[in-house]
Each structure stands twice: as C-alpha cells, then as structure tokens.
Amino acid sequence: MTHFIIRQATVFDIPALEKLVNSAFRGESSRLGWTTEADLLDGIRIDKDSLHDMIKTPDAVILNYYGEEQTLVACVFLKKQETNLYLGMLTVAPSQQNKGIGKMLMLAAESYALSHNCNIITMNVLNNREELTDWYVRQGFYFTGETKEFPNDKRFGIPKKELLFHIMQKDLVKKNGSVI
C-alpha cells in the first residue's frame, strides 16, 4: 500500500516546489513524463518569487503531495474566486506520472472547493496539449468556449509558437444542489 500525505505548502517548500514544477514542464527532465511543455516553451515554468506570491495570496493555497519517504512528488495551486475555484499548476514529477497521483490531487482539489463553498472549478490549459485536455475531460472538465492569450512575460516561459489558453471548467454541484 502506498502511503502519501497532502498538506498545504509554506514558504519553506519553495525550493522543492520550484525544482518539481520546472522539472515536470520544461527542459530535458520533463520529457520523461507526458506533461512536458518543452516543445512549446523555453525558459522556466515558475520561479521562487512567483511561488512566494502564490503561497501568500489571500484565498489561495498550494497543496503538496508527499509520497514514499516523505518526498514531494506533486502539487496543485488553488485560488478561491467567489463561488469558483481556480486550479493551476497541477504537477506530478515525471518519474511518478501514470500512477494515479494526479487523480488523487484532483480529488483533494474538489474536496477543498466544496469545503470552501465553491461549486465550479476553472482552469487554463494550453492549446496544442490534446493529451492533457483529454485527461481533464476524463476528470469531468469541459471546454467553456473561452480562450485567453498566453502572457507576454518571460516569467512564464518563452513561446516557440503561438500559444493561447483554453478555459476549462468542472461543475461540482448539480442545478438541484446535489454534489456531482
């Protein structure tokens, strides 16, 4: 049986989070997993200052997933926006992908949303990431039809091609008020 812990990140977790997120999305190490953005973007995915800001943001949290030997292997950023919860930076270490960890973090995010009176989870997903959007669809998300431009800011990476975000959403509560 696999033992794991999910807990809220603190500023003391920033170095480990920076290493985890960048290794899962950018550079050669990210190619070991299926979440790589290395063909779409150069540069880093996140820096220490951005992580600090995320951790200190009111109504926001980064949930850390610790696997065997208390090693940080996954995380997700959640931010309450009225009755919606924004989900971002869902990250699983490349060597730990395809083990159900992303699904467990998604369940933790849904539980967090409901406990904070949020009935919808929204997220931005890069276009050109069909395998990723397909995974989110299997988790109950759908395309809203809205898009958003990729930021022209080196802190988020340097695009190798034109990029935009698809806005995806998951409803956690049915119209009659019951939980999905």
pLDDT tens for residues 112-146? 999 999 999 999 999 888 889 999 999 999 999 99
Amino acid letter at 178?
S
pLDDT tens for residues 25-67? 888 888 888 878 888 888 889 999 999 999 999 999 999 999 8
Of the pLDDT bands very low, low, confident and very high (cuts 50, 70, 90), residue 1 is: very low
Q: Return the beta strands (E) in 29-118 as ranges.
A: 41-42, 60-66, 72-81, 84-92
* CATH value of 5-171 in 3.40.50.1370, 3.30.420.240, 3.90.1150.10, 3.40.630.30: 3.40.630.30
For residue 7, give Cα distances in angstroms to 75, 88, 117, 159. Answer: 9, 16, 20, 33
